[in-house]
Amino acid sequence: MKLKSYKYFFGFLILIIFTQLKSEEKIDIWKNNNSEKEISAQKKEVNSQKSPQKKIEIKTKDKNDEKIKIENTLINSTEQDKIYGLYDPEKNNLDLNMWSSTSAEDVRASLKRIKKIKLSKTSNEILENILLSYSFPPQGMAEKEFTSLKINWLVENNRSELIENFLKQNDNFYNKDKAVQFLVNENIAKANIQEGCKKIKFIGSSIKDPYLEKFKIYCLVLDNKKTQAQLLLDLLREQKKSDKFFDDKINFLLGISNKTSEKINENNLLNFYLSSITIKDFKYTPSKKTKKEIWKYLNAANLIKLENTNDKEKIKDLEIAANNGQVDDKIIFDIYKQIKFDLNTLINAKNIYQSLEASDARSLIFQKYLIVENIESKVEYLFLLDELFREDKLNNIFSEFLSNKLKEIGLENLPKKYKEIAEKKILTEEEINLGKVKYNDKILHQSKILKYYIEEGGNFKKTQKDLDKLLKRISKDRKYFISAKDLALIDSLIKDGFKIPNNFNYNDLVSKYDVPDNLVKLIEDKQNAFVALKIVEIIGEDEPHQLDSETIYFITNLLNEMSLTKIRNKVLISALPQRV
């Protein structure tokens, strides 16, 4: 009886507990539904307001490799927001919300226009600083697209050092595999495989890219870690991410098979590289369809050879490739040396070259240039060669060669009839060397006032005294004309806290110059980064010192209005001083 009563008791107890659990579950569900509505309402309320100041920790690369805390007012942001970049925006007087008032479409359209311009050094620097600074994306643009814009710009401009820094400073981001693959391919193209293998460290577990996984396997083979290579290859096969060509090459390199396919695979650079190192007596004839990175690898690995100098089509293809920057120009000049001419043809080169095929004509005149000793004759043949390259639109091959040879001879040693044209043919350095500043206190924008901007740690008090004296003298000189460049300097000085005397009539002077209304409106709408992007378009392929005075004024005026003083200083230092 006791056992039965215990059975009934325990059964009754279990029934009560189960009933309570079921009822609690129903209550919890009811509570959860209500709480979800409450949370949703709270989110809407928070998102309808500007969030309070928050600290975002951004890992940036500096001398001490420390984390820099950027404190800013974030619009519609949460602690989980992810941003990617290279530079602290505050270093250029920007902030994390610098794109927040700009539409995605406006940014896309501006970058599309900029892409068509061969930007000057200064334009590139401004673009780099605003595009690669940590910030939230423009309105209507997802973070993935915004990050892709940055990575695509870095890849398209071959900024390998910046790409590596980007990978070091940002853990996981959209298109990371593209950035890593660029570094890998760049080193394969340079025939520097060991360096390429070092870039594999950036892959990480988040990237599942078959191309990079294959390269990792090859690096393990190269490092004699064959067991690990085999395991990874088996895994890649199981995932159906390998292919017959790659399996064949790795099996051959691992020693599993004694033979490998003689077929050259051009689908990608890794396949082409594996073809070149596994095929005995590798020979390859590039064509117009050959990819740029394969041309680069052929060039670096010294695989471009011309066995038959009578093959004019092959010479033509190589000339076109050299003109497009795919082949070293020296290879073309080496080919020209190999083409054989008899003594009579060389002696009468000037009369005979017109009857020859284009490449033979260039070869003959090039050889003639090499054997003549008289300076006037050498210069004559150099300009004749220049003409022959231009006729076939191959001037990229010869322009640098011509410039260097004219520099070697020296303008002072050239015959008078060639001096004017030679000056135009001598190329300036890609990074323009502006020269030493020559201060001229007779002209405001060339005066020693500029020392405040040019020399680091300019003395404010001394500059103010010098400015007072200079403006006092100018006010007494009725013949002195206040130029737009003068006003660009004055506008910047006022922005930086310098005092200008009332009799200078600054407001009357600036009223003569118009600043584009559309750009002023953008500043009023707090679209500072977008205005900076517009300024990149305006400066374009020129350096600031090549712009007209009025353009220099309104650019500096806009930058002052936005308090982008560091970018403004780049413009001032290039545009205003007299240099020697």
Number of other CB atoms surrounding residue 63 within 10 Å: 5
Work out the pLDDT band at 430, boundaries 50, 70, 90: very low
Q: Can you tell me the mean pLDDT for 393-409?
A: 88
Q: Can you give the pLDDT at residue 399?
A: 87
Residue 35 predicted with pLDDT over 80: no
Query: Which residue in this structure is represented by tokens 């910046």?
Result: 162
Query: Which residue in this structure is represented by tokens 């584009």?
Result: 516
Say if residues 261 and 248 touch (Cβ distance below 8 Å).
Answer: yes
What is the percent of the chain where pLDDT is above 90? 57
429's torsion region: left (phi>0), alpha (psi -120 to 50) or beta? beta
Q: Can you tell me the mean pLDDT for 211-227?
A: 93
Q: E strands of 382-487, at which residues?
A: none
Q: Can you tell me the mean pLDDT for 572-577?
A: 92
Q: Can you give the pLDDT at residue 428?
A: 52
Q: Can you tell me the mean pLDDT for 449-467?
A: 89
Number of other CB atoms surrounding residue 174 within 10 Å: 16
CA distance 89 to 566: 11
Q: Can you give the pLDDT at residue 178?
A: 93
Instruction: Count Cα neighbours of 415 within 13 Å in the Cβ-side half-sphere.
Output: 10
Say if residues 533 and 103 touch (Cβ distance below 8 Å).
Answer: no
Work out the pLDDT band at 67, boundaries 50, 70, 90: very low
Residue-wise pLDDT tens digits, 335-381? 899 899 998 899 899 899 999 999 999 999 999 999 988 888 898 99
Minimal CA–CA distance to 249: which of 211, 216, 277? 277
Residue 301 CA, chain-centre distance (Å), reads 26
Q: Can you give the pLDDT at residue 435?
A: 65
Minimal CA–CA distance to 483: which of 544, 553, 535? 553
Q: Can you give the pLDDT at residue 103?
A: 96
DSSP string, 115-161: HTS---HHHHHHHHHHHSB--PPPBT--HHHHHHHHHHHHHHTT-HH
Tokens for 128?
Answer: 């780099």
How is the chain split into domains, by residue range? 175-301, 304-425, 444-575
Quote the pTM value: 0.72
Work out the pLDDT band at 580, boundaries 50, 70, 90: low
Q: Can you give the pLDDT at residue 307?
A: 75
Q: Can you give the pLDDT at residue 276?
A: 95
Q: Can you give the pLDDT at residue 234?
A: 94
Residue-wise pLDDT tens digits, 142-199? 999 999 999 999 999 999 999 999 999 998 899 999 999 999 999 999 999 999 998 8
Residue 429 predicted with pLDDT over 50: no
Residue-wise pLDDT tens digits, 312-335? 888 888 888 888 888 888 889 988
CA distance 542 to 574: 11
Q: Can you give the pLDDT at residue 147?
A: 95
Q: Max Cα separation, the chain?
A: 134
Residue 497 predicted with pLDDT over 80: yes
Say if residues 335 and 309 touch (Cβ distance below 8 Å).
Answer: yes
Tokens for 14?
Answer: 């279990």
Looking at 56-65, 242-251, 283-292, which range is the least confident one?
Answer: 56-65
For 116, list phi and psi in degrees, rounded to 5: -85, -5
Residue 278 predicted with pLDDT over 80: yes
**77 or 86, greater pLDDT:** 86
Residue 422 predicted with pLDDT over 90: no
Looking at 219-233, 254-268, 306-320, which range is the least confident one?
Answer: 306-320
- Rg of the Cα trace of the chain? 34
What is the percent of the chain where pLDDT is above 70? 84
Position 65: which residue type? Answer: D
Sequence-ordered alpha helix ranges (H) in 48-78? none
Residue 29 predicted with pLDDT over 90: no
Looking at 230-244, 278-292, 537-551, which range is the least confident one?
Answer: 278-292
Residue 484 predicted with pLDDT over 90: yes
What mean pLDDT value characterizes the chain?
A: 83
Q: Can you give the pLDDT at residue 74?
A: 41
Work out the pLDDT band at 223, boundaries 50, 70, 90: very high
Q: E strands of 235-363, at which residues?
A: none
CA distance 233 to 242: 8
CA distance 336 to 315: 9
Residue 72 predicted with pLDDT over 60: no
Q: Can you give the pLDDT at residue 240?
A: 92
